[in-house]
Amino acid sequence: INVDSLPYTNPSSNPFVGVTGDDEIWSYGHRIPWRCAFDSETGELWMADVGQNAWEEINVATAGGDAGDNYGWRCYEGDHSYNTSGCPGSSTMTFPIWEFSHGGSPYRCSITGGEVYRGAAMPSLHGTYFFADYCSNQIWTLTRSGNNVIVTDVSDDLDPPGSVSIGSPSGFGLDGNGEMYICDLGGEVFKVLPGVATGACCVNTTV
């Protein structure tokens, strides 16, 4: 939408312009996108979507593209059929680049979307997407190489020193230099720092 003047206007290039009530919509088929983030270098939009029953997912929209895409909900949860009654064919939908199931030990149940790292302190992580699970407190990184997606559990690497821990991660953020922060439900903000042995570690500030 164009907010240079009010009331705002809808660009004529929006995919559903002229459809009453849908003029602002860019894409659909999302359930509960919990934290979306633009990659500052590529312009891609990363969207973590919380599942209804058994699967959590990550979707990526290209910069300026993918207008009108259907990301599948309620027909699909991740790559899996959920309620396909009256749904179009799956070939018309955009499926996630990554999904993970509920369960396991520790128990996973709700994705927390993150950010793509573009800072200078950890050059080996340039272009890496960070995300977490709210219930298990696990934190992962995701990188792509062509069509391959590589996901790494970095929970131990990001375990702060001492008795402090990251519990119920609820959001990620970047500062003006592109450095990564993690927020948890306890009101703490953790900054991701380069580590000597493990690759990365955290310092926290309680707010």
Interval 128-147 mean pLDDT: 96
What is d(CA 77, CA 48) in angstroms, rounded to the nearest whole number?
12
Which residues, including other chains, have CB under 8 Å from residue 204's CB and lie 6 or more apart?
Answer: 160, 164, 188, 189, 190, 191
Q: What is the pTM of this model?
A: 0.92
- Tell me what pLDDT residue 202 has: 72
Whether the pLDDT of residue 55 is over 60: the answer is yes
- What does the pLDDT look like over 99-131, one tens digit per residue? 999 999 999 999 999 999 999 999 999 999 999
Banded model confidence at residue 151, pLDDT cuts 50, 70, 90:
very high
Name the β-bridge partners of 59.
Answer: 47
Q: How far apart are the first and last CA of the chain?
A: 34
